[in-house]
Amino acid sequence: MSLLALATESFPMNERDLDAVAALEASLQAFPWSRGNFADSLAGGHSVWVLRRGGELLGFSVVMQVIDEAHLLNIGVAARHQGCGHGARLLSQAMERAKLVGATKLFLEVRPSNERAVELYRHFGFRQIGRRKAYYPATDGREDALVFDKELA
């Protein structure tokens, strides 16, 4: 079967995914979430999903919901699969899932240096509502976070 014939599908993340998701995160970030962070998200009942084609992990998303608000905690796509619409698919599905369980707004933070992500969020109608000073660790100290939100209703 050719790679093109394989369907790309989303699945709820489970314990068996933790090592692969943590490895993917480590390949994407200078200061990645640990395996334990992902395990805690699973144990905490967050909406955690993986995107796969065949057995290959393409990406993941983690959303925490509190009453009628949701917070995109983490999202990532394997470097060699970026620019193919997988991030947009993960984000769109995260918004739909949050809406289905009663969220009316989705929040997120993003590094200003992550221009590709900022562009994706703006494309989806997110608006910048704030800035958190020195929020993220960085190789030269700390980096601010841009805070975005989007109405889901």
Catalytic status, residue 109: yes
Catalytic status, residue 121: yes
Cβ atoms of residues 93 and 10 within 8 Å? yes
- In the set 15, 96, 119, 121, the catalytic residue is 121
Q: What beta strand segments (E) does the chain contain?
A: 8-12, 47-53, 56-66, 69-77, 105-110, 127-138, 141-151
Question: Rounded distance, CA 8 to CA 96, Å?
Answer: 18
- In the set 9, 69, 109, 135, the catalytic residue is 109
Active site members: 109, 121
